[in-house]
Every structure is written in C-alpha cells, then in structure tokens.
Chain A
Amino acid sequence: MAQTDKNTTVKSGLGKSGPLKSGPLKSGPLKSGLRRKRRIYLLLTTVAVFILAVALVLNALKDNIRLFYDPTEVSEKTIPPGQNFRLGGLVQQGSFKSTETAGILINKFTVTDGNKSIPVTFEGLLPDLFREGQGVVTEGRLNKNGLFIATEVLAKHDENYMPKEVIDSLKKRGEWKRVVSDKKTAATHKSDINSEINKGDAR
C-alpha cells in the first residue's frame, strides 16, 4: 500500500493497492478501510512466514528422523545398508568384547530382543552405564554383511533405567517377563524401574 507523506515512504512488497490519501486518518470509513487493508497485509505476511516454516520443517524432518527398530524388525524388514536408524534391545550376556589399539577402542557386542539378535560394532568410549544384560539404544547403519555400525551409543543416566522403546519391544517379544524376574532377584532396592516392572506385571 503506497501510502506516502512528506518524509516517509512506506512500501510493502505484497502487491499494490489503491492509492490512499495521506494525512491524518480521522474519517471513519477511510480509517476502517485502512484497518482492513493493513489487517490483510498482516495476514498475508503471517501466511507467508507460516508456509516457509512448514517447508523448512518438512525439509528438516526428511533427513533428521531416526526410526527405531528392534532386532526382530531389523531381520524382518529389508533395511538398505547405509540407512541410518536406531537399534535398541538388550546387550546379550557374554557377547561384549573390546580391544584397544593405540588408545582407540573397538567394541563388539550383540543386541537382542530375545527373539533375534544383531551384531554391533562401535568405535570409541562407551558410556559408563553400558553393561551386558542391560538395555541399550544405538544409532548407526547396517553394512552389507548385516553388521550394525554404530556411530553413537546413547547414554542413559540411571543404572536401572531402561529405554521406553526397549521395554515396549521386549514386551512385544515376550522377553520382558524373564528380564523382570532377573532384575527382581538382582535388585536389592526399589526405584522407578521396579515400579515400572510391577506395573508391567500387573497388566
């Protein structure tokens, strides 16, 4: 809306509209017309920003969503090698091996849901809470031989904490009961996970 007065030029890139008298905006219909007009510009700007934001979000989502699979799903689906995803389950007892060469650690372990298991390799320091028999979520991709190359092992901040996705997966695979009974004999004190376990049992 090209509204001009002596020292101000106000422009808007949103198309042109009828000329408006400059000067004090007093008369009723003129003012309400201007109000409507300005409201429309505001609306158009809002819509434009909104559309741009949605485009940005969709574009960002495309590359940055990490799907979560458990070992059974990995073996059922055909996930192309090189595609990033998260793999979660239990670290199989007796599967963990780690070797150090010149300060660099190569860790190998197997992630299982009691039904299927997937071999994993990870280069680097593991979180302190990484243990055999405990839940783990790793991020990475499969190579051609079906080995999962983890780029990240997600740290959890509680020795009893089991990632929710892993709990759901274990319940689905019927492995949860066994884990729970193991935990119960091992646990000497109650805490969040135990109440979680009890609730799981109750269902």
Chain B
Amino acid sequence: MIAELGHYSLILAFGLTLIQAIFPMIGAARHDGRMMTLGPTAAYGQFFFSLAAFLALVYCYIMSDFSVAVVAHNSHSLKPLLYKISGVWGNHEGSLMLWVMFLALFGAMVAYFGRNLPKTLQARVLSVQALVGLGFYLFLLLTSNPFDRLADVPFEGNGLNPLLQDPGLAFHPPFLYLGYVGLSVAFSFAIAALIEGKVDPAWARWVRPWTLLAWVFLTIGIVLGSWWAYYELGWGGWWGWDPVENASFMPWLVATALLHSAIVVEKRDTLKSWTILLAIIAFSFSLLGTFIVRSGIITSVHAFATDPKRGMFILLFLALVIGGSFLLYALRADKLQSGGLFAPISRESGLVMNNLFLSVAAAVVLYGTLHPLLSDALFGVKSSVGAPFFNLVFGYLTIPLVMIMGLGIHFKWKRADLKGVTQRLMAIAGLSLLGALMTLYITYGGKIMPAVWMGIALWLLFSVLQELSVRLKLFRIPLKQSLQRFKRQPRSSWGMSLGHLGFSVGLIGIIATSSWNLEAQKVMGIADQMTIGDFTLTLDDVIPVAGPNYSAVRGIITVSSKDKPDYKAYPESRTYISSPMTTTEGAVETTLAGDLFIVIGEAQGGGATDRFGIRVYYKPLQVWLWIGAAIMVLGGLISLSDRRYRIGSPQGKKKKGSPSHAH
C-alpha cells in the first residue's frame, strides 16, 4: 500500500513539475504575473510529493517489505537500521529517487529564498529546474520504477554489500548528490540569464552562494568517499582515479573554477559568458557523473547492451540537456556585454589562470576516464588508464596552478603592482625554497619532485598567511588594533583565506602520503615479528570474534617503536553471513606525523590455517589531507554565512536558515 502511495506521489510530483516547467516560462515571456507565481507554488508542491515518494521508499526499506523489488534485491531484515536506510540509495533506482528529491528540494529553496529575485528571473530559473526534473521523473517512472513489486515475494532480501555498510559510505552519496543537484541551480540561473540576455553583478551575487553551497556539499561528499576507501578497503590508498571517483572529481574542479569566475562577474562585471559556460559545464559533469556511476557505461560499452532502454534514455537525456544548453549558449552568449577591462597582471588575470588550469585539469580527467571506452568502441582495444597517468599529469599541472594561486591572492583588481608584490613575497619565496631544500635533505637519496611539490605547497601556505597578515596589518599597528581588524574582516574573505589554507595543508598531506609511504607484507604465525620503518610488529594472537551479522578473525598485534610507548592494534577480517564475502577492518593509529595502518587477511600460505597475511602501511602526514579538507569546508561554510549574501545587497536573498531577509 505504502509503495503504491509512493508511486502515486511520484506521478503527482511529475505532474506538478510539468506545470512548473511550462507556465512560469510562458509567464516570464508575457510578463504575466499570475502564470509566474505558479512557479513557486508548483515547486513547493513538487517537493512535497517527491519527499513523500522518497519517504515511502524509506518506509519499505525499514519495514523490510520484500515484495518491493529494490528492497528485496538490496536489503536484508537483519541489517542495522542505519544501513536499511542508507540501502535506499545504494542502488540505481533508489539513488535516482534521492537525486530527484534533492532536485525538488533545491527548487523549493529557490522558490523560498529567491522571493526577492526579479520575478521573471525566478520564474525562468524554476522552469529550467523543472525541465531538468522532468527528465529524471520520466527516467524513474518509465525505466527504473523503485516501487515495482515482485510476483513471488522472497522471505529474505539479498542484503547490501557489506563493504557499503559503513557510516562514511552511508552519508557519502547524499552529500555528493546535494553537490551535484546544487550545481543545477547555478545551471538554471545560467540558462535563465541566457534567455533574459542579461548577466550583471547582481546575478553573480545570487549565483555565488548556490555554487558555494554545492561546492561545500561536493567537497564533503568526495572526502567522505575517499576517507571510506582509505580505511575500509584497506589497500592503503585514498584515491584510485577510478571512473567512479573521477565522475565526482570533474564537477568539483569545474565548480571550483565557477566559484572563482563568479567573483570576477560580481566585482568587475566581466568574464560573463565564460562564467555562464562554466555553470553549464559544471552541471553537465554532474549529470555525467550521476549516470556514469549508476549505469556502468564507463566500465564497459557493453553495459548499454545489457539494458538498452536505460542506456538510450540516458544518452538522449544527456544530449538534450547538454546539447540544448550549448546551443542556447552559442545563440545567445554574444548578447552578454563585456564589462571592465583588466591588465595582464591583476586579480582578474590570476583568476582567469586559475580557471584555465582547473578547466584543463577537468579535461584531462575526462579524457583519461573516457579513453578506455573510446579505444574499445573505436578500435576494439581493451585498455585501462590508471593512477600513474593521472598522478603524472596532475603532478605537473599542480605546479603552475598553485604558484599562480600564491601570487594571485596578492594582486589588486584591474591592475596590480607586480614589482611591489614581488618584493613583498621575496621572504616567503625564500622560505619555501628553504623548505624544499630541507625536504630534499631529509629524504636524501630520494626523488627530487616531491621536494619541489613540497616547496610549492609551502609557498601557498606562507602566501596565504602573509596575505592575511597584510590585511590585518599584523606587526605594523598595535596588536589590539590588528585584533579589531581581525573581527571586522568580512566572512567571505575568511572563507577565501581558509579555503586556500585548507588546500595548502591538504596538498602537503597528499604530497607526503603519496611520495613517502611505506608498505610491507608478511605471512605470520603467532609470535612472529616484522618491521616497517621504525616500527616493529609482533603478532601476539589471533582470536575469532562474532559480530551482529558477521564473524571475524581479530589479530592482536603489539607495535613498538623507539620514540613511542608500545601499543596494541586489533585489525579484523570480517566474513559476512548474508553474502559470503570478507571485508578488512584495518587498525589505524593516527598521529600528525603519519598513520600506521595494519590489515590482517585470511589464513594463507600452503594450506596452513595458523598463518595469516599481514599488510602494513605507513602513510606520512595522511591526516593532514583530512584536516586540510575540513578547513576548506569550514571556509566555504563561513563564506556562505557572509551577511552580504543575505542582507544589504540589492534584492538580497538567500540561504539556508537565515531568518533576516532584505529590509
């Protein structure tokens, strides 16, 4: 019954979306206020019914209603509640349901927080949102109905892949989707602006918070996924350049570029058509990402053959949305008047370079991800482009990007004083060089590139701090006054500083953990020892453990080193009952200096049952990566809370949970 209600709600939501797509658009063209006000109303209604449909699906999972096909295929009555719920989006149908519900949520948010937008703009934005939504509702209803019933109801469900039963992964998809869908708002604003033929600083001020919100969610989503891969998969890595990972990284790169170019539109009224293009590309990548992950197109061209209906629908939908918006862009972009001029050495130029390198980076990821598909489809050659390719290219792309970042934040708008900036930055350039040399000295005999990267990352770190101290006039005026300046800094500039600071901290972590990680493995019996770096591991015992839905072997390992007291590590290897597979629960000892990651495998080695495969990784500065990412997210959130995005600005609108609206 509940499933049918859900299905019915979904159809109603589709109907309201149809209204939201058609009438506000016509109303905006005819300046018909009544038609335009249908937009927000339909958006609220659409959100209500898609939420109802989503909750109905959640209900089916919680109640373990195995007469519903997706529940039977993806859930199990013995699963903990959290994973029954997260199982909702752990599959094709459910994840699309979540996606479309978020789309409706953002539509309702635009309706609510955008009350002060010009009426025609808001109507068009809502209409474009609804047009995108129509595609998803049709896809769900025609090819992937989550409420399909099974003719013969099984007694028990298939269970969720045990690897996915993890808090990190439970919340990874929702955040990622909030990011993807958040970019749809920037996209809708871009299309609406193309239709209106007008982009001005006010437009950028409306778009920026939405992009920032999407960017924050996307960052959280990507980091959660990476963090999960790090400690759950137990292969000692945190990023594998897998198509699924790349699919989320591409929109992130473009969203980051968009975030920066929108600033130029807002402050300097220029780079308009480029910003519009970025908004279109960012959302196109979001769509691509959604479908890549769920359809398996990238892993094999033959995925299409296995389900031609879905495949054709996806292709058609992508062609319509992406092709349509590019066509509109080609027709209308020249209508956008370019504003302020800027010199080659200026804040604007720095941001243009940022955009250039980020776009190139996104193009590289796209090419590397599609290469296996293309070579298979065109030449019938099966191949893979792995991590070494991406690492190599990104290693080199990062250098100019980060150097310009460190320089650009000191530049003034319009025309910067290169000589003055250079003089001011001499000291920190020297410090970073020193840092690089010291790195070279510490890792004597190692490779040179990591030291270069370290110098670059330090350059950014120092540069951000320097820029902050200039703004606070630190050490040049009494400390008390500096503190006052500290308080008076606008939140958006804190956002900038923290974002860049987080990036440099994360970068230091990435460089260290990928350049100097140690790895060792050994088959061990009780009382055997192995060493890695300065650590010595002794396998004291291996005991069987019973969990709620798994059984495990747990290793008891004493880790001793020169500088630290001994400690015990308890890595586990779990075998799940519902689907006979194993997962590793590594024992991770985290310090600022590095992570010691111990993994125990099943008994192996010539049939002996009392000998276990132990892998150990030492990952220097690994935690810096997570700290850096957290600082970036914090920066985004602080910037999002900037008052200027809520009040004081012309027709100010905005954000989540902000009660104080304009006037």
Residues of A within 8 A of B (CB): 1, 3, 7-10, 12, 25, 31, 34-35, 38, 41-42, 45-46, 49-50, 53, 56-57, 60-61, 63-69, 86, 98-100, 103-105, 124-126, 128-129, 155, 157-160, 164-165, 167-168, 189-191, 196, 199-200, 203
Whether B305 sits at the interface, judged by CB under 8 Å, is: yes
Q: Is the CB of B383 within 8 A of A105?
A: no
B357: chain A residues at CB < 8 Å are 49
B306: chain A residues at CB < 8 Å are 196, 199-200
B368: chain A residues at CB < 8 Å are 57
Task: Please indicate which of the listed interface residues B345, B382, B521 has the most CB atoms of chain A within 10 Å of its own CB.
Answer: B382
- B 289-328 contacts with A by CB, 8 A: 296, 299-300, 302-303, 305-307
Residues of B within 8 A of A (CB): 73, 158-159, 161, 163, 233, 235, 296, 299-300, 302-303, 305-307, 338, 341-345, 352-353, 356-357, 360, 363-364, 367-368, 371, 381-386, 388-389, 392-393, 396-397, 415-420, 521-524, 528, 530, 573, 579-582, 584, 601-602, 604-606, 608, 611, 613, 615
A128: chain B residues at CB < 8 Å are 573, 582, 584, 601-602
A138 to chain B, nearest CB (A): 13
What 8 new A-B contacts, CB under 8 Å, besides A57-B364, A128-B584, A190-B158?
Answer: A56-B393, A64-B388, A66-B384, A66-B385, A125-B523, A126-B613, A159-B579, A164-B302
Q: Is the CB of A64 within 8 A of B417?
A: no
B374 to chain A, nearest CB (A): 12
Q: Is the CB of B383 within 8 A of A67?
A: yes
Q: Is the CB of A103 within 8 A of B602?
A: no
* Complex: A57 Cα to B369 Cα, angstroms: 13
Q: Is the CB of B582 within 8 A of A9?
A: no
Q: Is the CB of A57 within 8 A of B573?
A: no
A68: chain B residues at CB < 8 Å are 382-384
Q: Is the CB of B158 within 8 A of A125?
A: no
Taking A35-B338, A53-B363, A67-B383 as contacts, is the C-beta distance between A10 and B344 under 8 angstroms? yes
Q: Is the CB of B158 within 8 A of A189?
A: yes
SS class of chain B's interface: helix, strand, loop or mixed? mixed
Q: Is the CB of A100 within 8 A of B611?
A: yes
* 18 pairs, A vs B, C-beta closer than 8 Å: A1-B344, A7-B420, A8-B417, A10-B343, A10-B345, A45-B353, A49-B360, A56-B392, A64-B388, A98-B605, A103-B530, A104-B523, A105-B605, A125-B523, A125-B604, A129-B582, A157-B161, A158-B161
Which 5 A-B pairs rank lowest in CB-CB distance, beginning with the nearest? A68-B382, A100-B605, A64-B389, A164-B300, A103-B522
Q: Which of B341, B386, B393 interacts with A31 by CB under 8 Å?
A: B341
A189: chain B residues at CB < 8 Å are 158-159, 579
Q: Which of A31, A61, A129 interacts with B389 by CB under 8 Å?
A: A61
B417: chain A residues at CB < 8 Å are 7-8
Q: Which of B302, B381, B416 interacts with A67 by CB under 8 Å?
A: B381
Task: Please indicate which of the listed interface residues B161, B367, B420 has the most CB atoms of chain A within 10 Å of its own CB.
Answer: B161
B611 and chain A: residue at smallest CB distance: A100
Q: Is the CB of B523 within 8 A of A105?
A: yes
B307 and chain A: residue at smallest CB distance: A199
A133 to chain B, nearest CB (A): 14
A61: chain B residues at CB < 8 Å are 371, 385, 389
* Complex: A42 Cα to B417 Cα, angstroms: 19
A8: chain B residues at CB < 8 Å are 343, 415-419
Q: Is the CB of A53 within 8 A of B385?
A: no
A9: chain B residues at CB < 8 Å are 418-419
A187 to chain B, nearest CB (A): 10
A126: chain B residues at CB < 8 Å are 604, 613
B415: chain A residues at CB < 8 Å are 8, 10
